Amino acid sequence: MDSFLPSPDCDTISKTYNGQIDSHLIQKTNEGYREILPNLPRGKGWMTEHLVQYQGVWLTPNFALKGLMWVQDHFKPRSTDIFLATFPKTGTTWLKALTFATVNRNRYGFADHPLLTTVPHGCLPFLEACPNDLDGFPSPRLLSTHIPYTLLPNSMTVNQSCRFVYICRDPKDVLVSKWLFMNKLRPKELAPISLEEAFELFCQGISHYGPYWDHVLGYWKASLETPEKVLFLKYEELKEEPSVVVKRLGEFLGHPFSLEEVSKGVVEEIVKLCSFENLSNLEVNKSSVLKLSTQIIIDNRHFFRKGKVGDGKSYLTDEMIKRINEITSEKLLGSGLVFGS
């Protein structure tokens, strides 16, 4: 059975588990959700009216919070699971495409590859979006998540040999990309969020799955402690030397490129297939949509804006840049991590 499985309808999945109604577990999660929700701190939302803070992380009240609670309470990982972990707008779409193409390179030809007709998010579903159906997926399962490492259950981080691939990006680019993306998804009845508002919220850590710096440091520290389980990548390095990073990715995932493959240009073919220029110009990514829930339906074209390094500086003032740089220096002090290539 192919590991390529289009993203299923999450509303259906929320009611079924291997074809059976799993009302008990659904009810248990919903009861816990309703119990804690009224008492959670609130902050201004980017895409929704507000975010809530749960276990130190800011989440959308319905979709993300329920998904996290489900994962923490009920998800059963396998030792062969591979998770692509990202903070929103750090290169998630690109990393999904590269990983899927690398792992499945002997299964699909480049001329009729699934990525030519399916958005990358349809090849690697979000763990917190579609939890119930995952037992039916073949091993090794390729899944993605925005959940911070510190909030993942021990069954994923300690008790199993699951592997994680994480990518970080300069916070200035993350902020601007996130602001532009979320405003496209913001309901018409809510006024657009200004760059100044988004900047203040981001600096305070009030953004989806934020604070950003905490999210990055969680996976960074895990990569230092267990490098065989967590591969830590930088968006800027991927842009600068994509072929080098793809080779590292293949090695880490247990799918190393042979000398013959390298000499035949397989790595370069994968880079070309998954490039921003190629994916953004495909018809599926111009006209189709991704349905995460009945409330969250995203035009595929919104996943492809510029894909450039340093574009955040085109929007931020000198004062904004200075403040984010100062926060970054303070947050990363002593960690050994430096953003950029």
Cβ neighbour number for residue 117 with a 10 Å cutoff: 14
Q: What is the 3-state secondary structure (H, E, C) of 1-64?
A: CCCCCCCCCHHHHCCEECCEECHHHHHHHHHHHHHHHHHCCEEECCCCCEEEEECCEEECCCHH
Q: Count the alpha carbons within 13 Å of 103 in the hemisphere toward its beta carbon.
A: 25
Contact 147, 128 (CB under 8 A): yes
Enter the tokens of residue 180.
Answer: 């532009």
CA distance 16 to 133: 7
113 annotated active-site: no
Cα distances (angstroms) measured from residue 10 to each of 14, 21, 126, 301: 6, 14, 10, 21
Q: Which helix (H) or strand (E) holds 116?
A: none
- DSSP letters spanning 289-327: EEESSSS-EEEGGGG-S---SSGGGGTS-HHHHHHHHHH
- The answer for residues whose C-beta is within 8 angstroms of residue 315's C-beta and 6 or more apart is 176, 195
**Which of 130, 94, 118, 27 has its CA nearest to residue 238?**
94
Contact 14, 23 (CB under 8 A): no
b/e per residue 77-113 (b: at least 16 CB within 10 A): beeebbbbbbbbbbbbbbbbbbbbbbbbbeebeeeeb
Candidates 24, 74, 121, 146; catalytic one: 146
The C-alpha angle with vertex 136 and arms to 3 and 2, in degrees rounded to 5, equals 20
**What type of residue is 282?**
L
Contact 123, 114 (CB under 8 A): yes
The C-alpha angle with vertex 169 and arms to 164 and 170, in degrees rounded to 5, equals 155
| Positions marked catalytic | 146
